[in-house]
Chains A and B, each alone.
Chain A
């Protein structure tokens, strides 16, 4: 005890001494220290570094001058984005069909097996039509686009393009009262919103970090991309399929970015008032991406990870959906009861009760919204082979009366609604606040309902539908 108090005393003496020597020059001192260290770094560099020969063509500069040029910067960014979507849509089409054929062939064999075993109808329904079909859908619809989209995205990341996106878009974020690094966390959100929320740590100011976290949901994560791509496909069945779908998906993404900025602006004017803090960002040199490693890394770290998570959620979700669709109360299934009850509300938003039900059941993971919807339509309707976008179109448009408005509102609702369970849990952990987590779900939900309502109302008033 004595010893301890004597050391505390010593510390107090030191503080007094410090106070006497440098009472109020803290900042001056810091400036001088920083300058001196940099001065020494400069001197040493001059001594040990020699610039032998300038390379004849500086590809770095040439590339950068195009990618961040005043006139070409933004168009190039949009073009790259569209290109990635186009490659994804085109490339995913064929393997998706093959996978679906194989997996649904598997479903038929399982059905045969059930028949051979003499299993009761509910066993076959629960396991084959519930769990197996939901998982098969998730795999065949999600795996190919992800296996193409992620490597493309990782290539751009590896190249060093993402900081340039921040450079190009910073002005907008500054206008929205947000931090420049929010464009980086937003881009991360394209991969996974939970990852985007964790990435918000790079933003120092708590106010701006919260804005970034609350708005990360407005860019579609990989769980929602397949949904958007499939729905866009329904809108543009026909000749220019890939290109049309890519353009539509890009339009949706740009709308998401616009909403991100608008909500950030609104938040920084109301709940999270303040002025944007300073922002400096290194623009690292472009680096030749190592294609092989990028593909391996993005497939292992991202694609399989996300797919694994989706399958884990899809299996129980498929089971629950099947149960809801096959437990009858009166002459209607529980699912139909719920859907009927939600139907007026769904119609108001340009959708129907089943779609809203799918979004509600899809809270654990966005990947399973579309499979749940297909399941609930199939469980109450006729059986069809689900092996292509064309089949999907037949189910939605022909059998369940979807219009272009239904497709559009479903896409917008999917883009905006609320973050998935994992992301909400991450926001809770990162912000340490239940209040902000609740807002992270309620703000997007409010925006989604408002946007869909206005669009549906306008389209109907104008007599377009």
Chain B
């Protein structure tokens, strides 16, 4: 985990890694890594968010959480705490 973080800092200069949580609506990103572990990670992956897949952030819910994304041709809503585990580029 630490090494990954280190790598991504090196690649992107002084910027910290970007996760799906920080991605602005209207932007398409590619998933590079899914953090976390156990059942949460499994659940996220089984909904189609796997490494290398393109995710389009459609909108944020009226109260600021969750976010709605388009992935593999369908609309998925996920909480920001889960979106934070998904590293993107």
Contacts and interface: CB of A to CB of B under 8 A. Distances in A.
Whether A and B are associated in the same complex: the answer reads yes
A68 B68 contact: yes
B62 A68 contact: yes
Which of A27, A68, A74 is the most central at the interface, judged by chain B CB atoms within 10 Å of its CB?
Answer: A68
Contact of B61 (A31, A41, A168): A168
Contacts of B78: 278-281
A428 interface: no
Interface string B26-64: 000000001001111111111110111100000111111
A171 B61 contact: yes
Q: Is the interface of B mostly helix, strand, loop or mixed?
A: mixed
Interface string A260-293: 0000000000000000111111111100000000
A446 to B, nearest CB: 29
B72 A282 contact: no
B82 to A, nearest CB: 5
B75 interface: yes
A180 B43 CA distance: 15
B79 interface: yes
A280 B82 contact: yes
A161 to B, nearest CB: 14
B75 to A, nearest CB: 4
B53 A38 contact: yes
A174 B62 contact: no
A167 B61 contact: yes
Interface string A57-74: 000000011001111011
Nearest to B63: A171
Contact of B68 (A31, A167, A276, A284): A167
Contacts of B75: 64, 282-285
Nearest to A277: B40
Contacts of A331: none
Q: Is the interface of A mostly helix, strand, loop or mixed?
A: helix
B77 A281 contact: yes
Contact of A278 (B53, B64, B81): B81
Report the contact-size class of chain A (Cβ under 8 Å from the partner): 35 or more
A240 to B, nearest CB: 29
A167 B66 contact: yes
Contact of A170 (B42, B59, B74, B77): B77
Contact of A70 (B40, B52, B53, B62): B62
Contact of A180 (B60, B66, B68, B74): B66
Given A278-B81, A280-B47, A170 B61 contact: yes
Contacts of B47: 280, 282
B43 A278 contact: yes
Interface in A27-44: 27, 30-31, 34-35, 38-39, 41-42
Nearest to B60: A70
B51 A170 contact: no
Contacts of A162: none
A283 B45 contact: no
